Chains A and B, each alone.
Chain A
Amino acid sequence: MSGMVEKRGLGTWLTHIGLILGIAIICFPIYMAFVASTVTQSEIAQPPMPLLPGPHFIDNYTAALTQGINAPVMTMLVNSMVMALGITIGKISISLISAYAIVYFKFPFRMAFFWMIFLTLMLPVEVRIVPTYEVVAGFGMLNSYSGLILPLIASATATFLFRQFFLTVPDELVEAARVDGAGPVRFFIDILLPMSRTNIAALFVILFIYGWNQYLWPLLITTEPEMNTIVMGIKQMFPSGDDIANWPVIMATTLMAMLPPVAVVVLMQRLFVKGLVESEK
């Protein structure tokens, strides 16, 4: 221990100062947004902008949650949550099942199907957005949760990840399960799923943020304010023309939009690290 203390020279101080400065630079805009969400519209509009939080925290956040500008932020938060969870759970379930099929079952054109799934990596939402819109509109799914979720569910990345993981599961385990009398479904549920839980946790974090941050697709297919998601809703809050932007409410909305992904990262990271520590050989 003493050795570690002795090593604390000027270099350590400089690195720490550098790091603290970096963090300050990254955090400052977020702090400014927080300050802006606790003062009144006129205080923001009138330079210089205040640097210390004002007394209107509760007013502004209540206004945002219950009224918002186009739609109450509460509604948009719920919409975003439904979409993000739908995409995450959908993607994980579908990739688990398709990876299971590709790794453990022999069927004609197995590799062809695998490569077809893999090729969809080249077709993200933005590329196929026009035909996808056409299809979703044709099914009457505009302004609906299914319209928001279904087109984003297919995931080559997650399928590939689970495939790679399943390939590392020893064959003997499958055989032991067969001798124990476990059929394909039981093996999947009792053995493969619990063994994949670290992978599932990691994917959950990544995919939840992916789903939460969707912007273009919800912007395209939700025309009614009640179906807006929060990430696109923020943009919709900006006034068109000469109207005055209600900055305190917009900033409150922005901060609230950040909270769920942060919560997921913080909470799931614990699970994720726990899973890693308990990793199986």
Chain B
Amino acid sequence: MADITFNAIRKSYGRTEVIHGIDAEIADGEFIVIVGPSGCGKSTLLRMVAGLETITSGEVHIGDRVVNALEPRERDIAMVFQNYALYPHMSVFDNMAYGLKIANVPKPEIAERVAEAARMLELEPYLERKPRQLSGGQRQRVAMGRAIVRKPAVFLFDEPLSNLDAKLRVQMRLEIKALQRKLGVTALYVTHDQVEAMTLADRMIVMNAGVCEQIGAPLDVYADPATLFVAGFIGSPPMNVISHDIRPGHGALAPGAVIGVRPEHIDLVEPGTGLIDFDVGFCEPLGAETLVHGVTAAGDKLVVRIDGETRPPADGVKTGLSIDPSKIMMFDPSGHRTSA
């Protein structure tokens, strides 16, 4: 078990820099999710920790060692890959035991460790099978078993659930979380799915275009996004972006500045009584909640989240919007939060 420190990490391919200096401190036993859109450099960052990519500049510390120049196997890490990367010709047992065999762990200990991992992951009936005889969820478990048996200091997950169907994804998500809690191993988990990030993370690192936008606990990041990008990326549906100042007693916004409001912080009221009038376009009833899409009188497109038991307004109806002023967030033209 170990803490991890990123110290001004940069990565360039030729002359193109893809990661522009990342600093972060990860405590021992923390579950950190790196989340961002595809191409933001999150996988590259993870692969630099794993030792599968070289680090152009900066330092990665695992425990008290700088691991920049170490081979993956010397870094005391284990990695779970997106497509599982199981050895197709080996049985489940051999897949899990391979790393230990190479490390010359005595056979009885290998058998014991694999048995323990198999019990934990409910893989005991499948130990003699080949990966192709397993379902996607089982393969994913084997990949995790392969990581567990090595008792690493750090778990690295590279979008491990994206090849599974939606239901299995939710189930495996819970299992991963429970497993990490139980083992107490520091985990770095890369995903583009903000729901996965919110549910798994102790803290999350939101990345965009090779830059770390915000680091924080999921609910803090949600409630208090540092940038417009984070506000738009975390939360579904995303935060509403309004380019006209709708607050009473304020003039026009500075050019390029915008207001952000979460869909659940807006209420539908009688026309003329709210902050601004609103034309309902259409509604998406989702059961527990209903999303109301429409346009404000000033021309901003908004989504309002209302309770699922409230009768949704008919398409094309005019209403008013009431917004709690304390929930309104201001962003300057560069996308950073401002107080005013």
Interface residues of A (CB under 8 A from B): 170, 172-173, 175-182, 186, 190-191, 194-195, 197, 280-281
Establish whether residues A178 and B71, one from each chain, have CB atoms under 8 Å apart when the complex forms: yes
Q: Is B132's CB within 8 Å of the partner chain A?
A: yes
1/0 contact trace for B84-116 toward A, CB 8 Å?
A: 111111100000001100110000000000000
Label chain B's interface by main secondary structure: loop
Report chain A residues within 8 Å CB of B81.
172, 175-176
B79: Cβ under 8 A from any A Cβ: yes
B180 is an interface residue with CB less than 8 A from chain A = no
Which listed residue (A172, A181, A191, A195) contacts B83, Cβ 8 A? Answer: A172
In the complex, chain A residues whose CB is within 8 Å of the CB of B77: 179
A179 adjacent to B73 (CB under 8 Å): yes
From known contacts A191-B87, A281-B88, infer whether A180 and B82 are also in contact, taking CB-CB under 8 Å: no
Contact A280 B102 (CB under 8 A): no
Question: Hey, which chain B residues are within 8 Å of A281, CB to CB?
Answer: 88, 132
- On chain A, the residues within 8 Å of B89 by CB distance are 191, 194-195, 197, 280
- Give the complex CA separation of A176 and B88 in angstroms: 12
Nearest residue (CB) in A for B86 is A176
With contact pairs A176-B79, A280-B132 given, residues A181 and B52 touching in the complex (Cβ less than 8 Å): no
Q: Are A181 and B88 in contact (CB under 8 A)?
A: no
Please tell me if the beta carbons of A172 and B82 are within 8 angstroms of each other in the complex. Answer: yes
Query: How many A-B Cβ pairs are below 8 Å?
Result: 62
Q: Mark B63-89, 1 if CB is under 8 A from A, else 0.
A: 000000001110001110111111111
Chain B residues whose C-beta falls within 8 Å of the C-beta of A175 in the assembled complex:
50, 52, 72, 79, 81, 85
Residues of B within 8 A of A182 (CB): 98, 102
**CA of A279 to CA of B80, assembled, Å:** 24
Q: How far is the CA of A186 from the CA of B85 in the complex (A)?
A: 17
Residues of A within 8 A of B146 (CB): 176, 180
Distance in angstroms between the alpha carbons of A274 and B138 in the assembled complex? 25
Instruction: Please tell me if the beta carbons of B85 and A172 are within 8 angstroms of each other in the complex.
Output: yes
Nearest Cβ distance between residue B13 and chain A, in whole angstroms? 14
B50 touches A180 (CB 8 A): no
> How near does chain B come to A261, taking the closest CB pair, in angstroms?
29
Q: Closest approach, in angstroms, between the C-beta of A223 and any C-beta of chain B?
A: 47
Residue of A nearest to B100 (CB): A180
Contact B103–A176 (Cβ < 8 Å): no
The 8 closest A-B pairs by CB, nearest first: A181-B73, A280-B88, A180-B99, A172-B85, A176-B85, A194-B89, A181-B102, A172-B81
Partner of B98, one of A172, A190, A195, A197: A190
Across-interface contacts of A197 in B (CB, < 8 A):
89
Do B71 and A186 touch (CB < 8 A)?
Answer: no
> Is B79 a contact partner of A195 (Cβ separation < 8 A)?
no
Is the Cβ of B85 less than 8 Å from the Cβ of A181? no
Cβ contacts A to B, 22 pairs, < 8 Å: A170-B83, A172-B82, A172-B84, A172-B85, A173-B87, A176-B79, A176-B81, A176-B86, A179-B52, A179-B78, A180-B73, A180-B99, A180-B102, A181-B99, A181-B102, A182-B98, A182-B102, A194-B89, A195-B88, A280-B88, A280-B89, A281-B88
Bound together, the chains give a CA A197 to CA B89 distance in angstroms of 10
C-alpha gap A181/B85 in the complex (Å):
15
Q: Chain A nearest CB: distance from B147 CB in Å?
A: 9
Chain B residues with CB below 8 A from A190, complex form? 98
* B73 and A178 contacting across the interface, CB-CB below 8 Å: yes
Q: Give the residues in chain A near B87, CB-CB below 8 Å.
A: 173, 176-177, 191
Task: Knowing that A175-B52, A181-B72 touch, tell me 20 more A-B residue pairs with CB under 8 angstroms.
Answer: A172-B81, A173-B87, A175-B50, A175-B79, A176-B85, A176-B87, A176-B146, A178-B72, A179-B52, A179-B79, A180-B102, A181-B99, A186-B102, A190-B98, A191-B89, A194-B89, A195-B88, A197-B89, A280-B88, A280-B132
